[in-house]
Homo-oligomer: A and B are copies of this chain.
Amino acid sequence: MCEANAYIIEESSEERLIMEAVDQVIPEEEGIRLVSIFGDQKFIRGYIHSLSLVDHKVYIRES
Q: Residues of A at under 8 Å CB distance from B?
A: 1-4, 22-27, 37, 47-54, 56, 58
Contact = CB atoms under 8 A, between A and B. Distances in A.
Contact of A27 (B4, B50, B53): B50
How often does this chain occur in the complex, in copies?
Answer: 2
A1 B3 CA distance: 11
A24 B53 contact: yes
Contacts of A51: 22, 24-25, 48, 51, 58
Main secondary structure of the interface of A (DSSP, over half): strand
Contacts of A27: 49-50
Given A1-B54, A22-B51, A23-B54, 8 more contacts: A2-B53, A3-B53, A23-B53, A24-B50, A24-B51, A24-B53, A48-B48, A51-B51
